[in-house]
Each structure stands twice: as structure tokens, then as C-alpha cells.
Amino acid sequence: MRTTDILRNNIIDKLLTINNKDYLSALYQLVNKSSVDNDTVKLTEEQILMLQLSDNDIKNGSLISQSQLDKDDLQWLKEM
């Protein structure tokens, strides 16, 4: 089962145990106003440029692994 399915099922299980009407009403309003599927994010020119630069890095193989990044970060912190 996918992580999102597990999370959704866990939330449903917990919701079934809530008896407080005001609490449930507040949760309903929160979920009802959160239409994630229909939300469109408007990116700034700078954000678009950063994404294009990232795409170029990927195409050119200018990447490092997460573990190498962690090592570099630790080294940088030690030098501070």
C-alpha cells in the first residue's frame, strides 16, 4: 500500500473515534477548503529560472549524492 493510502486510512481511523461536533466541524471546513487537486501555483520569474537551471544541471550531470552533500555540510559546519 502506498504511503498516502496508509496516511489517509490512519486519518480516517482517528476521525471515527472523534465525538466532538465542533472539532469535527472545524476539520470538515479545513478539508473542504483545501482543494489540492485544483490549486495552481503561480511561479515567479526567479522560481522559473531556478527550475530551468536545475534542469540544466540534471542534463549536464552536475549532481552530487545526498550522502556527499551531507558530508560537505558537516565539513562546512566544522569549519565555522
**Cα(13)–Cα(6) distance, integer angstroms:** 10
Given this model, what pLDDT does residue 69 score?
94
What are the tens digits of pLDDT across the range 61-70?
A: 999 999 999 9
What are the tens digits of pLDDT across the range 2-19?
A: 888 899 899 999 999 999
Q: Find out whether 18 and 24 touch, Cβ atoms under 8 Å.
A: yes
Handedness of CA 28, 29, 30, 31 (dihedral sign): positive
What are the tens digits of pLDDT across the range 37-53?
A: 666 778 999 999 999 99
Question: What are the residue boundaries of the structural domains of the chain, listed by start?
Answer: 3-34, 51-78
DSSP 25: H
**Cα(61)–Cα(71) distance, integer angstroms:** 20
Q: What cell numbers appear for 78 in the block?
A: 566544522
Residue 75 has pLDDT above 90, yes or no: yes
Given this model, what pLDDT does residue 31 score?
86
